[in-house]
Amino acid sequence: MRVLKSIFIRAAMCCFLIAAPSVSAADINDVVGLWRDEGSILWIQRDDATLQARIIAFRPGELNYLEGEEVSWPLGTPRRDDQNPDPLLRERFIMGLNMLTNYRVQDGRWQGQIYDPRSGNTYSSTMKVDRKGELQMRGYIGIALLGRTQTYQPFDPCSEYDLVVGKEFAPLAECASDGTPNH
């Protein structure tokens, strides 16, 4: 009986040690801040018990409508939410658009819906900061296993970046004279 108990305890400890690395070391508030990927900067803010994620920068060629694009807006004007399935929302500018709805902490992580302005689709979503300090945003339909994860790095305004920040968000992306972020 002692041998079985000893084997059971060792097996339980092995299972714990194998599962432990998958447990997030990050706090739920770690998602708040500025994050960037290769084509945008997101500003994630907490609004009471929910989150907002606003697009505050794009690649230079994606900021405005360009020649050759078939759109109903004049060339050179800022991009709008023209893929939105709701015609009343198609005039909204993408710069500054909040992409999250009903984003709340559930089961120890952020969950809700995320809107993709490129496609006009809304997906179920989860968000967390992983052990490497990267923001992981997962969008999916149905079950999370069948979704896609977008990874964002912490944004450092004092480093070089080839993105155009919206005028109203410029103070967030400025580097102070002492080399520290202004936000």
pLDDT in tens, 29-68: 999 999 999 999 999 999 999 999 999 999 998 989 998 8
73, pLDDT greater than 80: yes
CA quadruple 80, 85, 86, 91: dihedral, nearest 10: 10
Measure the CA angle with vertex 121, ends 105 and 137; round to 5°: 40
**pLDDT bracket for residue 8 (50, 70, 90):** very low
Nearest CA among 47, 41, 51 for reference residue 126: 51
The pair of three-digit structure tokens given for residue 153, joined into one six-digit string: 């790095």
- Select from 1.10.10.10, 3.30.70.890, 2.40.128.520, 2.30.40.10 the CATH code of 26-173: 2.40.128.520
Residues composing the chain: 183
Q: For residue 79, how many other CB atoms are within 10 A of its CB?
A: 21
Which of 2, 9, 26, 14 has its CA nearest to residue 132? 26
Tokens of 69: 């694009």
Answering whether pTM is above 0.85, one says no
Domain boundaries, the chain: 26-173
pLDDT exceeds cutoff 90 at 183: no
Average pLDDT for the chain:
85
- Nearest C-alpha neighbor of 62 from the set 101, 95, 111: 95
User: Average pLDDT, stretch 75-90?
Assistant: 95
The tens digit of pLDDT for each residue in 128-168 reads 999 999 999 999 998 888 899 999 999 999 998 899 999 99
* 89 CB burial (10 A radius; 0-12, 13-18, 19+): middle
User: Terminal CA-to-CA distance of the chain, rounded, Å?
Assistant: 62
As beta bridge partners, residue 44 has 33, 53
Q: Is the pLDDT of residue 121 over 50?
A: yes
Q: Residue 69 and residue 109: Cα distance in Å, rounded? A: 40
- CA separation for the pair 9, 1 (Å, rounded): 12
Q: Do 31 and 43 meet the contact criterion of CB atoms below 8 Å apart?
A: no
Q: Tell which residue, 152, 150, 151, 162, has the closest CA to residue 59.
A: 162
